[in-house]
Amino acid sequence: MSTFTHPHNQVPDLAGYNLFASDPVLRTAVLRGGAAWREPELLRQGAEYGSEAMLRTAEDAEHYQPELQTHSASGERIDFVKFHPAWHEAMRVARHNGMTNLPYADSRPSAWVGYGATLYMHSQIEPGSTCPSTMTKASIPVLQRNPALLDALWVKLVDTRHDPRDMPVAQKHSMTLGMGMTEKQGGSDVRTNITHAARIGSGPWGEEYEISGHKWFFSAPMCDAHLVLAKSDDRGASCFYVPRWRPDGTKNPIHIQRLKDKVGNRSNSSSEVEFHGAWGVLLGEEGRGIPTIIEMATFTRLDNVLSSAGFIRRAFAQALHYAGNRQAFGRVLADQPAMAELLGDMALETQAATLMAFELANRFGSPAPLDQAWRRFVTPMAKFWVCKRAVAISAEAMEVFGGNGYVETGPMGRLFREAPVNSIWEGSGNVMCLDVLRAVSRNPGDAQLVLDHLADVAAGEPAVLSKIRALRETLLRPGADLERQARRITQQLALCVQAALMLQHASPAAAAAFISSRFDPDWGVVVGVSAGTQDIPALLAETWVETRAQCHD
């Protein structure tokens, strides 16, 4: 930890450091996941993300927000969203670093962990550009349901060059894909969707339809195509590939009504749109659109977990940097007992969130029964818990800065506004907790398989074993009895998973600190109540390695 103090007791920006080299938890997770082959590239990326240039790019992308241009000067409908060059630079970095395709462009199962490391770091610096990038990656398994279409698009999906040009996909180097699910009358309840699809014939990519209706959230509208839910007359909701430009080179009639004025994620454009007979092609089985597009959401929920773990890491790094370079009451702020306790607790949260995110990413690359069970049962839980904790940790980090944290010229305002988005997108908290229960009801063996594994890992920890036994008994009750307890069950599961991961992969002292605090009946949601250890410097050293040159005036 730095102990530099500016002459005016003001802390310089955290810049010029390597996000990968400074994060021992991340580095060991990458090696444990079999992605040592990716480490040299991740070291390069870590330096890129921590550079002054990338930090300025992120600030500009957030400050100069996208602008909607619905018509050309001659009155033609263009539905174009104009971005600052900084946005395109962030998108270029994301694509070049593998965020749009790595787990599918590289056949090694460990590519999921390598991909996760990039997303985790990118999210800490410019999270807005993760949205279209990760949606593109998540669309690939859905496109696999239409082999002819996937074959036509494959070279555009795996190309590592960002291509911002607004033109038919066939004329571009690469492409991005987004998603259009929710409508104004239903939100998360997509069964109430009313957007209509009328079959118009068959083409080289399968059954073709004209789509009419609307989407209340359409992210991001400048993507080259979107996966869209719409209902046909006799089969219910289906999933369609709907491009910005028709195959004949004319613009598809997708009218952007307005851009959402969001609390955060401002560099990224989210919109409301109307379809006026837009051309689309069927993906998967007609009438099975909801489970088809939910498959995409499963992958983007993993991205939510990785991204929010990155937010927690960023909040901790900023708080540690600030407290180590600021004096208060005659001592460096980080040396004050209450602050040291808070930083220690934030270090535990950072370790636990990172371990959970990368354990999940690692299991996405494996067909083993336990790994499949983990994906179905743990993914919604991890999204609920890590995303919720990111909001709390970001708020605490802002308080470490005091009044300096509550101004837009510092780093904390953006992080604080950004943190809630992952809790909301791809299913809010209650939806995730209910999905945990649905996973139990649909595949009851999954829960028992995961709980058996957790019990084996925690064999010497009575407090953790007691909680696991209670979860087993609770999950045997009828589903109708569980809904009111959905959040409690999900929290208990999250803490058991994190405890097991800390026992496996953290130091004995850090694991003991996590369990003694999180399994104490008095533990609550206030961060910093107890890090559960006296050796806080050792805990911080496990979680942060200084990679910058010593600060100086």
Neighbouring CB atoms inside 10 A of 321's CB total: 25
**CA neighbor of 46 nearest in space, from 97, 121, 127, 133:** 121
Domain that holds residue 266: 177-287
Query: Is 347 within 8 Å of 542 (Cβ atoms)?
Result: yes
3-class DSSP string for 327-393 = EECCEEHHHCHHHHHHHHHHHHHHHHHHHHHHHHHHHCCCCCHHHHHHHHHHHHHHHHHHHHHHHHH
- φ/ψ of 430, rounded to 5, equals -65, -40
**Alpha carbon of residue 108 to chain centroid:** 22
Phi, psi for residue 534 in degrees, rounded to 5: -90, -20
Identify the bridge partners of residue 272 per DSSP, sorted by sequence position: 258
Rounded CA gap, 495 and 386, in Å?
11
In a domain, 269, yes or no: yes
> CA dist 402 to 4, 323, 332, 460, Å?
18, 11, 15, 41
Quote the tokens at residue 389.
């904790």
Quote the CA–CA distance of 306 and 387 in Å, as a whole number. 9
Going from the C-alpha of 243 to that of each of 199, 205, 213, 513, the distances in angstroms are 17, 13, 16, 51
Residue 267 lies in a domain: yes
Q: Tell me, letter by letter, the H, E, C secondary structure of 180-212.
A: ECCCCCCCCCHHHCCCEEEEEEEECCEEEEEEE
pLDDT score, position 454: 98
**pLDDT by position in tens, the chain (length 553):** 545 556 788 999 999 999 999 999 999 999 999 999 999 999 999 999 999 999 999 999 999 999 999 999 999 999 999 999 999 999 999 999 999 999 999 999 999 999 999 999 999 999 999 999 999 999 999 999 999 999 999 999 999 999 999 999 999 999 999 999 999 998 888 889 999 999 999 999 999 999 999 999 998 999 999 999 999 877 789 999 999 999 999 999 999 999 999 999 999 999 999 999 999 999 999 999 999 988 888 899 999 999 999 999 999 999 999 999 999 888 999 999 999 999 999 999 999 999 999 999 999 989 999 999 999 999 999 999 999 999 999 999 999 999 999 999 889 999 999 999 999 998 999 999 999 999 999 999 999 999 999 999 999 999 999 999 999 999 988 877 899 999 999 999 999 999 999 999 999 999 999 999 999 988 876 777 665 566 888 888 999 898 876 544 4
> Looking at the domain assignment, is residue 245 inside a domain?
yes
**Location of structure tokens 């998360």:** 188
d(CA 106, CA 98): 10
Whether 544 contacts 22, CB under 8 Å: yes
For residues 427 and 380, is the Cβ–Cβ distance under 8 A?
Answer: yes
> Do the strands 206-219 and 270-283 form a parallel or antiparallel pair, or are they unpaired?
antiparallel
Please indicate, yes or no, if residue 188 is contained in any of the structural domains.
yes
- What is the pLDDT, as a whole number, of residue 535? 82
In this predicted structure, what is the pLDDT of residue 8? 84
Which phi and psi angles does 232 have, rounded to 5°? -90, 170
Task: Specify the number of domains making up the chain.
Answer: 1
Domain assignment present for 254:
yes
pLDDT at 213: 97
Distance CA 542, CA 506 (A): 8
431 vs 291: CA distance, rounded Å: 15
Tell me the CATH number at 211. 2.40.110.20
| pLDDT at site 536 | 87
Question: Tokens for 14?
Answer: 């955290």
Note if the pTM is more than 0.85: yes
Going by C-alpha positions, the residue among 363, 390, 421 that lies closest to residue 217 is 421
User: Is 485 contained in some domain?
Assistant: no
- Other CB atoms within 10 A of residue 550 CB: 8
Token pair, residue 90, equals 């962030």
Is the CB of residue 405 less than 8 Å from the CB of residue 399?
yes
Q: Pairing state of beta strands 196-203 and 206-219?
A: antiparallel
Treating both helix axes as pointing N-terminal to C-terminal, what angle do 536-543 and 337-363 enclose, rounded to 10 degrees? 40
Q: Give me the long-range contacts of 81-86 (CB less than 8 A, separation at least 24).
A: 81/220, 81/221, 81/222, 81/256, 81/259, 81/269, 81/271, 83/164, 83/222, 83/269, 84/60, 85/60, 86/56, 86/57, 86/58, 86/59, 86/60, 86/61, 86/267
Query: CB-hemisphere CA count at 13 Å for 410?
Result: 21
Cα 340 to Cα 269: distance, rounded to the nearest angstrom: 39
pLDDT in the model for residue 521: 87
- Residue 67's SS3 state is strand
Q: Is 256 contained in some domain? A: yes
Is 345 within the bounds of a domain? Answer: no
